[in-house]
Structure 1
């Protein structure tokens, strides 16, 4: 599984990149054999209600399935990434259930 982490409009330190990559590996560990590539894009978005939000877009490339794109938002990078990966896990589980019948 290859991981690509891109952050728009803000710099990310190497320590934060390592933490985010560990989070991706931990949450998708069940599906690492089936995922070829993970693209993570983080960006800031202004919100009138709660200030700036971090938006996360996760693209998963899996053999035999179309590319899966999931978007989620959160107060910080870790929360946004965690939400997007949780949503991706649910979609992957339902897709694999549909294809194994």
Structure 2
């Protein structure tokens, strides 16, 4: 997989939350919808992201969110509809991953 991203001069969502504290409901809603749009595009193209967290959501000049760091991503296909194995980061890992069962796109949401 080759992914080309534009230059992001602002911080990640993690850094924004660290600087300003809790997001307002409106800010959270906007970033959530933008992130879900990115996940929808990943899943539409059979890409299982596997590491969604504020540190992997970059904000551009307009403060629009984009998912970054596809290092753990997996492409699922007709021969490979589910995967197994531990992946992700600490508190952001889905329960399916920690139980050592097979999982699919639901772990990204």
TM over 0.5: no
Query: Larger relative contact order (C-alpha < 8 A, sep ≥ 6)?
Result: 2
Compare the two structures and name the one with the higher strand fraction. 1
Question: What is the TM-score normalised by the length of structure 1?
Answer: 0.39
